[in-house]
Amino acid sequence: MNAMTPEYSDDDFAGSLRNAFDDQPIPPKPLDRDVLAKVTASTCEPETPRPFAWNGHSRFSQMAALIPVVAASLVLVVAFWRTETPTASNEAVERPKNAVAQQPIQSEIPKQNPVSQLPDGPNLLQDKVIDAEISTVHDKSVAKPDPQTPQQNQESKPTPENQEKIETNRIQFQFLSAKTAFASLTNYALSIDQLKNGPFKDVRFELDERTNSIVFHSPYSKTIEIGMQLGRLDVEAALDIIDDTTVPSTLMSAVRLTNACVALKRWDAIKLTDAFQPYLSNERNATLRAFQSLGLPKGVKSLRLGPGKRRQWLSSPETVAYTYIVDFPDLLTDMKRFVDALLGEEIFDDMLDGIRDDPAGPQIDIREVAKSMDFELVLVAKQSREGNRKDSTMFAMSLKQSAPVAQALERVMAVEPDSAKQSIGGTNIYIIQRGDEPAKATCIAGDCLVIGDANLVRESILRFDKR
């Protein structure tokens, strides 16, 4: 752990401050009688009770606007955490000697959810992998791949011209039978149509027979895609690639959380940390507590690679898209646990009430809005080719009813000082530009609420308009 990170709780901190104020009360002196006779102009008016104050820059307003996005972030977390219950045959296989003892997965109260009965999306190596370890390190000396000559990338060597132009991960998956896994992986990579623009674009992988492992070289965003594809792997030990310190492997959930945090941070899709920064600061413990509180959300399941036929306009050859099945009311419950644990107080409901009741705010009921959400969520990502700039991302959530969501969106944007309305074809888009940050955009197109980086949203709406 980072030595500079405070490891004490808020209560410890406040208690320490209080200790400094411990005193022996000094008996008060009697009031001067002449003072009582004075008439002063000042009167102390108690502050009028008011729920959460709304202003356009309020973090609560940002959280309200970001709730669908935060919900989508959970999809990423889940996608990265997915684990497979070992089959009977798998359990019979002896574990490698260097494998860390597996801890039981901490899950919240199990819920019956019809979503869980739906089939899985693509699940690479599901039947081949028995156990695995992942270690992740910075590797800046890998040559930047040339998109025009993908075949040559396999043998490309770093040169002074192309070295360190792209920051990559070196991920080592260790298998009991790496040869089998490698064959399966190769077949998969060769078979899928999306080879050029799919999950293995810009990714090199190689078999290391000595360590019985497969090594991936990939950009950060691709790391997460690999994580999704290999989502059934039960990751038992990992290195924190942020500060290169080891997370104790006994903390199973912590390892998962670290991976998820790293994924979210590098993916940078939902700016989760930014949205919650005033409340959680950079405290790792708070983040861990929050993610631990999630357990494994039941309301999310991978559906397919790609946006689906009806929503082809959401993606292009330059983007990668995944579709998930989401139960939004369930996800809202998960979010409550997440936010309450993150802040260490049960304030999520109060926040929602404040957003609903504050006369200066948009006065929308997030719980009601969630009921208008349908069950499909499409994640679209476009990799940046400019050095280490983050990738562009966008989410599209299918709607059962567009009108209530459109109304809520309009209200949120009406009190958002940094928003501007534009029109592309017949679609109104709200562009949000805060300072120097990349512009965000949101709109309702067809039966989808679209939210994400402005460039991606604009491109999608142009395609939507030309259908």
* Interface with another protein (CB under 8 A): 6, 8, 10, 12-32, 35-36, 38-40, 42-44, 46-47, 49, 51-52, 278-279, 281, 343-347, 349-351, 353-354
User: Smallest gap, in angstroms, from Cβ of residue 6 to another protein?
Assistant: 6
CB of 16 or CB of 106, closer to another protein: 16
Q: What is the largest CA-CA distance in the chain?
A: 95
User: Smallest gap, in angstroms, from Cβ of residue 41 to another protein?
Assistant: 9
User: Smallest gap, in angstroms, from Cβ of residue 74 to another protein?
Assistant: 22
User: Smallest gap, in angstroms, from Cβ of residue 38 to another protein?
Assistant: 6
The alpha carbon of residue 68 and the mean position of all alpha carbons in its chain are separated, in whole angstroms, by: 12
CA atoms in the 13 A half-sphere facing the CB of 113: 20
CB of 5 or CB of 98, closer to another protein: 5
User: Smallest gap, in angstroms, from Cβ of residue 184 to another protein?
Assistant: 48
CB of 31 or CB of 109, closer to another protein: 31
User: Smallest gap, in angstroms, from Cβ of residue 276 to another protein?
Assistant: 11
Q: What is the CA radius of gyration of the chain?
A: 25
DSSP for 260-271 reads: HHHHHHHH-SS-
CB of 8 or CB of 119, closer to another protein: 8
Q: Number of H helices and number of E strands within the chain? A: 15, 14
193-205 as b/e: b if 16+ CB within 10 A: eeeebbbbbbbbb
Taking a C-beta distance cutoff of 8 angstroms, is the pair 64, 355 a contact? yes
Helix (H) or strand (E) holding 459: helix 454-465
The CA distances from residue 142 to 168, 183, 265, 345, 456, in Å, are: 7, 24, 21, 45, 28
**243: Cβ contacts below 8 Å, ≥ 6 apart:** 2
3-class DSSP state of 26: coil
Q: What's phi and psi for 241, nearest 5 deg? A: -80, -5
User: Smallest gap, in angstroms, from Cβ of residue 150 to another protein?
Assistant: 47
User: Smallest gap, in angstroms, from Cβ of residue 162 to another protein?
Assistant: 41
CB of 11 or CB of 193, closer to another protein: 11
CB of 147 or CB of 278, closer to another protein: 278
CB of 244 or CB of 346, closer to another protein: 346
Helix (H) or strand (E) holding 258: helix 252-267
3-class DSSP state of 134: coil
User: Smallest gap, in angstroms, from Cβ of residue 12 to another protein?
Assistant: 5
Angle at 22 between CA 17 and CA 24, to 5 degrees: 165
Residue 77 is encoded by which pair of tokens?
């977390």
CB of 32 or CB of 155, closer to another protein: 32
CB of 262 or CB of 351, closer to another protein: 351
